């Protein structure tokens, strides 16, 4: 967890730091895992949150979508019921008030009225006139109920009290569910009678059927005692006790979710009748009502899973690409490093080659000596026929050796190119030491070598041994140029760019023609003297060290060679 936190804090830490670390394959694996984890987390967490929220939102919306129509339907149906009952009640009420007691008590008249009623309104089973004492005065209907006294029945008391009564459903004598509507009429003169009609509840069934519910849904009427007023598909027959307790009383149509006695999760929509002792209920199994939701949920799940898969795939691909790029960059860097190391390795091979070039000098030296010896032998020998021709060949061999020497010389020049070592050095000390090497010869030839070295001379960064070679060459040349007893002046001063060193001699000087060629390879005015490294080498070295060399000379007066050297190595020694 802490690791994750750290990762989140510095998601690209792995990418940015430790670039110089050796990158092992394991590190790539870890890096890859971390990047993928990060990318997946960054995309999947919001995606999942959204999916979950969406799921619940959708589910609620879907539930509302299901519940609302159910509620509306229950409300509508309740209204239908109420309308039905009100209509019947007002019909009975109208008849009770439109006719006189006498007319109603007239058997034939009542029979006529009843037949009209039956024609106009469906569901009336019988009609009876009951006097204020509860005695059925007149009766039209299938049963022989005339003369029956209802005075001690509850409905009678209630209709006397309220003026109107709608009964619960009950089984009539014909074992048929019925509802009684009773209306009390009072005339101005204080006479009271009650008109009582029986309705069969087929009408109820018809109203419920008109809800046109799905087969697994169920709608029914219950009274407030929990007795079913109409048959339910699932919760009992008419007049049986409802198999679950009544929901809390509300006249507003309401939907609640519950587990029914069959164990199904159902939406139960219900409404109590304000005017009657009825509750209308409609139950709809959640599973069927949410069928569409389930398909939606399936789609949602599919999209989610597909999204996750896509994110994973993309994360892998992107990470792979990223890692590949990194690897490539790493490889390129390593290749570059390898190149550099190669150059170093190769410079050691260059040294090896230089070694071989040296080796070549050995047979050359032997050939040189042997041929020299043969020449010596020839020259002390009196003439013989082949002598001249042999001498020509001997000289040709000696010349060939000289040419070979030039080649190895050149080759070692290249090899040296590869072999530069740079350090900070004190030029004053270097010049003094180099001059010291030649002190023997100078002393022997009584040449006055003066050093005028500025003590403030800055230290420079350069190649010690190569510079030493340069000064040795310059001093050697100067020594070769001056006559015995001559003088050489070496001076060194700071210059804006670095250091200026000049070697001045009062020797023979040189012609303009000579000056033109002085820096060319293998050019020499000395005959068989010196170390054989000409000014061309000196020139090459100075140029390579980022400096410059100039010559000034007057024949018979002397020569001055001036070298400028930079303080540091400005350029790479390429």
Partner 1 sequence: MRDAMFMGRLTAGATHEMQNILATIRESAGLMEDLLALGGEGFVHAERFKKGLGVLAEQVERGMNLSEQLNYCAHATEPAPAGADVNEAMRSLVGLTRRNAARRRVSLVLAQGRTGLRTGLRALEAMGLAGLALDCCLGLLAAGAQLVLAVEEQGGLAVVRLDGPSYEALRAQPDFAELEQCARTLRAGLCAGPGGQGLALSLPKPVA
Partner 2 sequence: MNKQDWKILLVDDEHEFITTLAERLELRGIAARVVFDGESALLAVAQDEPHVMVLDVLMPGIKGLEVLERVKRSNPRVQVLLLTGHGSTRDGIEGMRLGAFDYMMKPLSIDTLIEKMESAIDYAGKAANLGQ
Residues that bind partner 2 (CB under 8 A): 354, 357-359, 361-362, 364-370, 372-373, 376-377, 380, 401, 405, 408-409, 412-413, 415-416, 433-434, 437, 440-441, 443-444, 465, 468-469, 472, 528-529, 531-533
What lies within 8 Å, CB to CB, of 118 at 6+ separation is 124
Q: Which is nearer to partner 1, 210 or 348 (CB)?
A: 348
The binder of 296, among partner 1, partner 2, none, by C-beta within 5 to 8 A per type, is: none
The β-bridge partners of 258 are 266
Q: Are strands 498-505 and 558-566 parallel, antiparallel or unpaired?
A: antiparallel
Q: Does 25 bind partner 1 (CB under 8 A)?
A: no
Q: Does 67 bind partner 1 (CB under 8 A)?
A: no
Q: Which is nearer to partner 2, 213 or 415 (CB)?
A: 415
Shortest distance, position 21 Cβ to partner 2, whole Å: 39
Counting beta carbons within 10 angstroms of the beta carbon of residue 529, is it exposed (0 to 12), middle (13 to 18) or buried (19 or more)?
A: exposed
- Encoding tokens for residue 454? 């500025």
Q: Does 574 bind partner 1 (CB under 8 A)?
A: yes
Binding mask 384-403 for partner 1 (x = CB under 8 A): xxxx-xx--xx-xx--xx-x
Q: Which is nearer to partner 2, 49 or 443 (CB)?
A: 443
- Which has the closest alpha carbon to 474: 565, 361, 567? 565
Shortest distance, position 404 Cβ to partner 2, whole Å: 8
Shortest distance, position 333 Cβ to partner 1, whole Å: 12
Mark the segment that binds partner 1 (CB under 8 A) among 96-104, 128-136, 349-357, 520-528. 349-357
380, 382, 387, 388 alpha-carbon torsion, rounded to 10°: 90
Question: Cα(63)–Cα(47) distance, rounded to whole angstroms?
Answer: 24
Q: Does 571 bind partner 1 (CB under 8 A)?
A: no
Separation of CA 41 from chain center: 8
Q: What share of the chain is helix, strand, coil (3-state, %, to 5)?
A: 50, 20, 30
- Which has the closest alpha carbon to 89: 16, 196, 205, 226? 196
Question: Cα(280)–Cα(252) distance, rounded to whole angstroms?
Answer: 11
The binder of 465, among partner 2, partner 1, none, by C-beta within 5 to 8 A per type, is: partner 2
Helix, strand, or coil (residue 425): strand
Q: How distant, in Å, are the alpha carbons of 30, 385, 452 from that of 413?
A: 51, 44, 31
Residue written as tokens 């007057």?
554
- Encoding tokens for residue 159? 């209709």
Q: Does 379 bind partner 1 (CB under 8 A)?
A: no
Shortest distance, position 528 Cβ to partner 2, whole Å: 5
Question: Cα(179)–Cα(199) distance, rounded to whole angstroms?
Answer: 5
Question: Cα(466)–Cα(544) distance, rounded to whole angstroms?
Answer: 10
Shortest distance, position 430 Cβ to partner 1, whole Å: 26
Shortest distance, position 560 Cβ to partner 2, whole Å: 24
The binder of 342, among partner 2, partner 1, none, by C-beta within 5 to 8 A per type, is: partner 1
Q: Which is nearer to partner 1, 33 or 338 (CB)?
A: 338
Choosing from 10, 33, 333, 345, the residue that interacts with partner 1 (CB under 8 A) is 345
Shortest distance, position 521 Cβ to partner 1, whole Å: 13
Q: Which is nearer to partner 2, 367 or 422 (CB)?
A: 367
Q: Which is nearer to partner 2, 24 or 440 (CB)?
A: 440
- Which has the closest alpha carbon to 163: 136, 142, 179, 186? 186
By the 8 A CB rule, do 230 and 281 touch?
no
Shortest distance, position 470 Cβ to partner 1, whole Å: 21
- Encoding tokens for residue 354? 């230089």
What lies within 8 Å, CB to CB, of 272 at 6+ separation is 224, 249, 250, 251, 278, 279
The binder of 441, among partner 2, partner 1, none, by C-beta within 5 to 8 A per type, is: partner 2
Mark the segment that binds partner 1 (CB under 8 A) among 381-389, 455-463, 464-472, 518-526. 381-389
Residues near partner 1 (CB under 8 A) are: 334, 337-339, 341-343, 345-350, 352-353, 355-357, 359-360, 362-364, 366-367, 370-371, 373-374, 377-378, 381-387, 389-390, 393-394, 396-397, 400-401, 403-404, 407-408, 410-411, 414-415, 417-418, 574
């Amino acid at each position: 967890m802490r690791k994750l936190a750290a990762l989140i804090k510095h998601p690209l830490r792995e990418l940015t730091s430790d670039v110089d670390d050796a990158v092992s394959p394991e590190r790539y694996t870890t890096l890859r895992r971390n990047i993928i984890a990060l990318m997946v987390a960054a995309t999947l967490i919001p995606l999942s949150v959204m999916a979950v929220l969406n799921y619940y939102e959708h589910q609620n919306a879907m539930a509302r979508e299901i519940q609302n129509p159910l509620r509306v339907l229950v409300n509508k149906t309740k209204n239908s019921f109420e309308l039905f009952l009100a209509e019947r009640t007002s019909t009975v009420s109208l008849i009770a008030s439109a006719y006189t007691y006498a007319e109603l008590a007239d058997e034939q008249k009542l029979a006529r009225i009843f037949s009209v009623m039956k024609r106009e309104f469906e569901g009336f089973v019988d009609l009876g006139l009951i006097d204020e004492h509860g005695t059925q005065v007149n009766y039209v209907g299938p049963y022989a109920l005339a003369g029956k006294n209802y005075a001690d029945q509850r409905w009678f008391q209630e209709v006397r009290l309220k003026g109107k009564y709608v009964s619960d459903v009950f089984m009539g004598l014909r074992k048929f569910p019925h509802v009684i509507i009773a209306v009390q009429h009072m005339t101005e003169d204080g006479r009271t009678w009650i008109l009582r009609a029986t309705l069969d509840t087929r009408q109820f069934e018809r109203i419920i059927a008109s809800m046109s519910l799905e087969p697994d849904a169920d709608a029914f009427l219950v009274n407030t005692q929990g007795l079913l007023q109409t048959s339910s598909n699932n919760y009992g027959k008419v007049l049986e006790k409802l198999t679950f307790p009544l929901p809390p009383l509300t006249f507003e149509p309401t939907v609640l979710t519950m587990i029914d006695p069959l164990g199904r999760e159902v939406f139960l929509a219900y409404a109590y009748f304000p005017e009657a002792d009825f509750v209308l209920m409609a139950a709809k199994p959640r599973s069927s009502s949410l069928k569409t939701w389930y398909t939606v949920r399936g789609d949602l799940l599919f999209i989610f899973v597909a999204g996750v898969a896509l994110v994973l795939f993309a994360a892998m691909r992107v990470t792979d690409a990223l890692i590949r790029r990194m690897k490539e960059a790493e490889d390129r860097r390593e290749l570059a490093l390898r190149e550099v190391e190669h150059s170093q390795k190769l410079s050691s091979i260059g040294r090896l080659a230089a070694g071989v070039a040296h080796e070549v000098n050995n047979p050359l030296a032997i050939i040189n000596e042997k041929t020299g010896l043969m020449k010596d032998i020839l020259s002390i020998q009196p003439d013989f026929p082949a002598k001249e021709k042999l001498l020509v060949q001997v000289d040709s061999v000696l010349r060939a050796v000289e040419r070979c020497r030039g080649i190895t010389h050149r080759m070692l020049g290249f090899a040296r190119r590869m072999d530069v070592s740079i350090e900070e050095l004190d030029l004053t000390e270097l010049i003094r030491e180099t001059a010291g090497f030649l002190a023997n010869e100078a002393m022997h030839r009584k040449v006055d070598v003066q050093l005028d070295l500025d003590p403030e001379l800055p230290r420079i960064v350069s190649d010690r041994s190569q510079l030493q070679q340069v000064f040795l060459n310059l001093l050697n040349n100067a020594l070769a140029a001056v006559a015995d007893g001559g003088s050489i002046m070496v001076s060194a001063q700071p210059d804006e760019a670095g250091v200026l060193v000049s070697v001045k001699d009062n020797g023979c000087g040189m012609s303009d023609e000579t000056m033109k060629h002085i820096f060319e390879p293998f050019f020499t005015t000395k005959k068989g003297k010196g170390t054989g490294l000409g000014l061309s080498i000196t020139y090459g070295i100075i140029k390579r060290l980022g400096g410059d060399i100039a010559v000034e000379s007057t024949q018979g007066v002397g020569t001055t060679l001036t070298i400028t050297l930079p303080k540091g190595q400005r350029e790479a020694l390429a």
